[in-house]
Chains A and B, each alone.
Chain A
Amino acid sequence: MTKVKICGLKEEQHVKAAKRADAIGFVFAPSKRQVTIEQAAELAKHIPADTDKIGVFVNASLKEIEDTIAGVPLTMVQLHGDEPDELVQAIQVPVIQAFSIRTKEDVGKLKKSQADYILVDAPGTEYRGGSGNVFDWSLLDGADIDPSRLIVAGGLNPGNVHAAIGQTAPYMVDVSSGVETDGRKDTAKIQEFIKQVKDDSMEQTIEKTGFFGKYGGQFVPETLMKAVKELEDAYEAVKEDPEFHKEYHHYLSEYVGREQPLTFAKRMTEALGGPKIYLKREDLNHTGAHKVNNAIGQALLAMRMGKRKIVAETGAGQHGVATATICALFDLECVIFMGEEDIKRQQLNVFRMKLLGARVESVTKGSATLKDAVNEALRYWVSNVEDTHYLIGSALGPHPFPTMVRDFQSVIGEETKRQILDKEGRLPDAILACVGGGSNAIGMFYPFIKDKDVQLIGVEAAGEGVDTDKHAATLTKGTEGVLHGALMKLLQDDAGQVQEAHSISAGLDYPGIGPEHAYLADIGRVEYRSITDEEALAAVISMSRLEGIIPALESAHAIAEAEKQAKTMTADQILVICVSGRGDKDMATYAEKLEGLS
């Protein structure tokens, strides 16, 4: 399976167009395609983690190369000058050494290279580093070069790349000018080039998908790959199917009670003395939170796939209740994994699930919270993959889950957009939502992502404070890592062990964050802040008394941050809060923590 490298990229749109490529090349040598380390680092934010980022150099010093490797960061280095063997060997990442080939003698030279990979190119005319001339591939015939080290470049384009692969069977093909129009990269040509290499090979069935920038992917055991791929295909199919959408919206309106109001919070607006505040009322959904939007979508999909058994994890119990409810509605068999700690915190929800006919399995391992419940649900899925659908509850997990959950929750943002345009004739200035795994937030934000004037703020749980070891502020404090099938941001120790999160709110008590949020944070489109247990509890009281709405503890995080945000805004502005759920499930916690309330 020949790999594809798209070289000399300078613009974000082209990096995105090269999503299916195996490698992206950045040119650091003088050339019209030259980029700085800073530019390359910025572009690298849009490149999937498993795609190689290759820096192209001509006679640079080891220090320059090392600084660039660290700065972007790069995963490979490509040398186009007269670099000595000592330099090739001193570079820690794998090295590609490029050779210009005119004659059979030139072919002889490259056989002596110490580099990990050999790139053969047509001889440069103007700049070193490839000229775009077509290279006589037959020169390589009988040259006895190990094809697993060979990279072919020089004059390739979507029209001839097939022939080049057929002739040389290389490790990788490399293209730059062949995917340009008038000296600038061309999105359509990039995509066509990749398609030419990939779609004809067996790779069609076996390709990386589902990245948001570098995050996401399908990091699951091989046993699950078939299920994950089937789900991906099934979801692709229903996405375009109007019948499916009709059915989904039918249940949303007839069963869940959508659409939910966008309530003007008059007293809260007055009390804070800032912007007009609107509340998106996910608390009014049947079962009490936004989770049911996703549960219906996925259950309908599972049934289309012929699966009538559902496994799910739950933290606060809201997703478990939503899943158990939908399983009762559609007569599906239902197993819910829930951490022992959470079972204690959310006893009413445990009983609701049982009443609805679900089997609730207590998870005593690890921190006995949401993370461990996901582990057990995944194990259960691994063992029962043929007839069971894993109905994940947040915008987490291997592709296609983060995309699918986002799409099923986007009804929140779509309604909000319509409603605010109706009421105010314009879009809001700021929107806030709490983030656990990130499903209500991504559902609310997604329809607004392209509306650059709408400030989007995600609110994480700071627990007892982000500087203590008891918090769940993944984007504020976390680092990149793989958990539950995706590369995302994680709370982890120096050895890569995932740490326990802490929040008074079971639904936010998760040490990771959905991959799309990690990306949106990286590119600065969404700002992530955090709210402590104490601040959230205070917001529960204020919202209850000002608006007669007792919010879920999770939602109270968004409300508390909104109170701060409102102070920086003016009366002619508009702020929207996603009230992701109602507080019924948290009444025991409220009674205990707010004892003596007067």
Chain B
Amino acid sequence: MNRLEQLKSTGNKAFVAYIMAGDGGLDRLKEQVQYLQTAGVTAIEIGIPFSDPVADGPTIEAAGNRALKQGVTLQKVLEELQSWTFQVEIPLLVMTYLNPVLKFGVERFATECGKAGVSGVIIPDLPFEHKQLVQPYVDKEGIKLIQLVTLTTTDARLNDILSEAEGFVYAVTVKGITGSRDEMSEEVKAFMRKVREKSPVPVYAGFGISKSSHVEMLRDDVDGFIVGSAIVEAFNDDRIQEIEPLIHAVTASHSI
């Protein structure tokens, strides 16, 4: 069974950590994954650097540029994942823009992700309309193609997207790009409730989640959180342990 399918059954809120592969050198990826796994995250999203990351804010873009300077490519990341011998117990997701996938070959991408034990892929510039470009190939490997929904997604569109959603739904909390935010609006809460009501799969909130206050605000309306910029920044500044309280704020079972 695809590991993503086990997620909802655990009951607790999920914490998905985003890291930029190769930020600080590709050899750090392994220790970062091991660290996060030990720290109790639910799943890890491994970002592939891209020259033109239009959905990302300055933090992730800068991390991507650092990785690109180190010569990190999609191929090298997949080879790195395939070389691991330690036990990866949580689902790994690959997040990449479409162009590196096209260049690598969609079918080859799916096969190599399969070999690397990847459970899902997220391609932010591959909208629902065009997902056929990738879907049949990942289907063949049993890998989930995660869909994004945002505050600007119309209701008709939301229904369509959710009707084919698999793995989990990535619900974007802001009308903008990735990056840490100070506040979450009421509008966001209402949106999350709407998505969750209709979604056949867990709903995870992402983009701009960086503080326990964000988690508190949305906790009852989502199944989990995706944290990117805050983790990328913490790894880069060598203070990743400061993220642990946020992980625990999410994953601790909550009795009311």
Contacts and interface: CB of A to CB of B under 8 A. Distances in A.
Interface of A: 1, 3, 22, 49-52, 75-76, 92-94, 116, 202-203, 205-209, 217-227, 229, 365-366, 371, 375, 378-379, 382-383, 385-386, 479-485, 487, 490, 492, 494-499
A366 B164 CA distance: 37
Nearest to B128: A206
Interface of B: 50-52, 54-55, 57, 61, 68, 73-75, 97-104, 107, 111, 124-133, 136-137, 139-140, 147-154, 156-157, 159-160, 163-164, 172, 175-177
A219 B126 contact: yes
A378 B150 contact: no
Contacts of A496: 50, 74, 99-104
A13 B161 CA distance: 32
B102 A498 contact: no
A483 B52 contact: yes
A168 B219 CA distance: 40
A309 to B, nearest CB: 14
Given A203-B160, A225-B153, 9 more contacts: A92-B111, A93-B137, A202-B159, A224-B152, A225-B152, A386-B152, A482-B98, A497-B51, A498-B51
Contact of B160 (A75, A92, A202): A202
Contacts of A221: 54-55, 124-125, 127, 148, 150
A202 B156 CA distance: 7
Contact of B175 (A93, A206, A385, A495): A385
Contacts of A492: 99, 103
A335 to B, nearest CB: 15
A218 B126 CA distance: 8
10 contacts: A3-B132, A205-B157, A221-B124, A222-B127, A483-B52, A492-B103, A495-B73, A496-B101, A496-B103, A498-B99
B60 to A, nearest CB: 12
Contact of A481 (B54, B99, B149): B99
A177 to B, nearest CB: 25
B68 A497 contact: yes
> Which 4 A-B pairs rank lowest in CB-CB distance, beginning with the nearest?
A496-B103, A496-B100, A495-B73, A383-B176
Nearest to B127: A225
A218 B111 CA distance: 26
A209 B129 CA distance: 9
B102 A481 contact: yes
B52 A375 contact: yes
A385 B55 CA distance: 13
A498 B126 CA distance: 17
A222 B107 contact: no
Contacts of B125: 219-221, 482, 485
Contacts of B128: 206, 222, 225
B160 to A, nearest CB: 5
B52 A222 contact: no
A224 to B, nearest CB: 8
Given A383-B175, A492-B99, A366 B132 contact: no
Contact of B75 (A229, A366, A495): A495
Contact of A226 (B51, B102, B152): B152
A204 B125 CA distance: 21
B103 A227 contact: no
B130 A208 contact: yes
Report which residue of A1, A229, A375, A485 has the largest number of chain B beta carbons within 10 angstroms of its beta carbon.
A375
B104 A218 contact: no
B80 to A, nearest CB: 14
A291 B75 CA distance: 41
Contacts of A494: 73, 103
Nearest to A227: B152
Nearest to A377: B54
B54 A382 contact: yes
A116 B107 CA distance: 14
Report which residue of A203, A207, A218, A483 has the largest number of chain B beta carbons within 10 angstroms of its beta carbon.
A483
Contact of B129 (A50, A382, A480): A50
B136 A75 contact: yes
Contact of B102 (A51, A205, A382, A482): A482
A379 B177 contact: yes
Contacts of A116: 136, 139-140
B205 to A, nearest CB: 14
A205 B136 CA distance: 22
A203 B148 CA distance: 17
A382 B176 contact: yes
B175 A481 contact: no
Nearest to B62: A365
A116 B136 CA distance: 9
A386 B150 CA distance: 13
Contacts of B132: 3, 22, 50-52
Contacts of B148: 221-222
A378 B172 CA distance: 17
A379 B127 contact: no
Contacts of A482: 97-99, 102, 125
A386 B176 CA distance: 11
A51 B163 CA distance: 21
B127 A205 contact: no
A497 B129 contact: no
Report which residue of B61, B68, B176 has the largest number of chain A beta carbons within 10 angstroms of its beta carbon.
B176
A230 B34 CA distance: 45
B68 A222 contact: no
B50 to A, nearest CB: 7
Given A52-B136, A206-B160, A218-B127, A366 B51 contact: yes
Contact of B149 (A92, A205, A222, A484): A222
B153 A94 contact: no
Contacts of A383: 175-177
A398 to B, nearest CB: 9
Nearest to B76: A495
B54 A378 contact: yes
Contacts of A499: 51
A222 B74 contact: no
B134 to A, nearest CB: 9
Report which residue of A50, A208, A482 has the largest number of chain B beta carbons within 10 angstroms of its beta carbon.
A482
A443 B128 CA distance: 31
B150 A498 contact: no
A189 B150 CA distance: 38
B154 A76 contact: no
A218 B129 contact: yes
Contacts of A479: 103
B74 A495 contact: yes
A219 B176 contact: no
B175 A226 contact: no
A386 B153 contact: no
A6 to B, nearest CB: 15
A164 B177 CA distance: 43
Contacts of B100: 495-497
